[in-house]
């Protein structure tokens, strides 16, 4: 299994064009008849700074810490809009929705520890092959897939440590 850290040659992770993404979001809001507000753009800016898989509440808390006062409901609704717009992807790892940048490449899948919530990203070529093979055999053109492994940490000490830090 290859971890994300050894896959930096793909490079698109770093070339995040925040200006272009903001313009895309503004165009999306106008097209859908939503108001373009500073609060919504602040939520976008905060989301673009994340490299992890975050919950709406985690983003809300980090925005408060940075002195950005946005209503909690605005954070939640804006994350939904950013997902519809294709800027974020929403994951369901078993503890509520988590978000991640859609442009965060390389394409990867996730393994989640059901005990402590630790999330590991991995790439496995065979999953892409399966996506291709199944789609073709059923007469489709594959676009993307979502594959999650639910597991438990093999090292109990590592696992309980993580759980502690997650519970705060
Ligand atoms: Zn991920
Ligand atoms: Zn664990």
Whether the pLDDT of residue 134 is over 60: the answer is: yes
Whether the pLDDT of residue 119 is over 80: the answer is: yes
Q: 40-60 burial, b for 16+ CB within 10 Å, e for fewer? A: bebbbebbbebeebbbbeebb
Instruction: Outline where DSSP puts E strands in 39-118.
Output: 88-92, 97-101, 109-113
Total number of domains in the chain: 2
Strand partners, 91: 98
C-alpha of residue 87 to centroid of ligand 1, in Å: 14
pLDDT tens per residue across span 12-66: 445 678 999 999 999 999 999 999 999 999 999 999 999 999 999 999 999 999 9
DSSP one-letter code for 44: H
Give the whole-angstrom CA distance, residue 32 versus residue 125: 37
Neighbours of ion ligand 1 (CB under 5 A): 100, 121
Tell me if 7 is assigned to some domain: no
* 23 and 96 belong to one structural domain: yes
Residue corresponding to tokens 């520890």: 113
Mean pLDDT of 103-127: 90
- pLDDT (0 to 100) of residue 157: 84
Residue range of the domain that includes 133: 109-167
Q: What ligand has the least distance to the C-alpha of 93?
A: 1
C-alpha of residue 161 to centroid of ligand 2, in Å: 8
Give the whole-angstrom CA distance, residue 96 versus residue 160: 21
C-alpha of residue 109 to centroid of ligand 1, in Å: 7
Tell me if 54 is assigned to some domain: yes
CA 26 to chain CA centroid, nearest Å: 20
Whether the pLDDT of residue 5 is over 60: the answer is: no
Tell me if 8 is assigned to some domain: no
Q: Which of 101, 123, 143 is the last residue of a domain?
A: 101
Q: What ligand has the least distance to the C-alpha of 159?
A: 2
- pLDDT (0 to 100) of residue 14: 54
Mean pLDDT of 129-135: 96
C-alpha of residue 31 to centroid of ligand 1, in Å: 29
* 83 and 32 belong to one structural domain: yes
Which 3 state secondary structure label does DSSP give 98?
Answer: strand
Q: Which of 54, 79, 101 is the last residue of a domain?
A: 101
Respond yes or no on whether the N-terminal peptide bond of residue 106 is cis (omega within 30° of 0).
yes
C-alpha of residue 5 to centroid of ligand 1, in Å: 12
pLDDT tens per residue across span 87-104: 999 999 987 899 999 987
Give the whole-angstrom CA distance, residue 21 versus residue 158: 37
Q: Which of 84, 101, 118 is the last residue of a domain?
A: 101
- pLDDT (0 to 100) of residue 37: 96
Neighbours of ion ligand 2 (CB under 5 A): 113, 115-116, 118, 153, 159
C-alpha of residue 53 to centroid of ligand 1, in Å: 6
User: How many C-alpha atoms does 90 have within 13 Å on its Cβ side?
Assistant: 16
Specify the length of the chain in residues. Answer: 168
């Amino acid at each position: 299994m290859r971890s994300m850290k050894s896959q930096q040659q793909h490079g698109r992770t770093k070339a995040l064009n925040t200006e272009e993404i903001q313009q895309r979001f503004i165009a999306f809001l106008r097209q859908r008849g939503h108001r373009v507000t500073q609060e919504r753009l602040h939520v976008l800016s905060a989301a673009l700074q994340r490299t992890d898989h975050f919950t709406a509440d985690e983003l809300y808390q980090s925005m408060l810490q940075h002195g950005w006062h946005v209503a909690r409901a605005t954070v939640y609704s804006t994350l939904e809009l950013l997902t519809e717009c294709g800027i974020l992807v929403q994951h369901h790892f078993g503890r509520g929705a988590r978000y991640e940048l859609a442009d965060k490449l390389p394409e990867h899948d996730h393994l989640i520890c059901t005990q402590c919530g630790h999330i590991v990203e991995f790439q496995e070529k065979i999953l892409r092959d399966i996506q291709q093979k199944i789609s073709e055999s059923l007469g489709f053109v594959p676009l993307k897939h979502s594959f999650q492994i639910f597991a438990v940490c093999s090292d109990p000490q590592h696992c309980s440590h993580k759980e502690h830090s997650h519970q705060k």
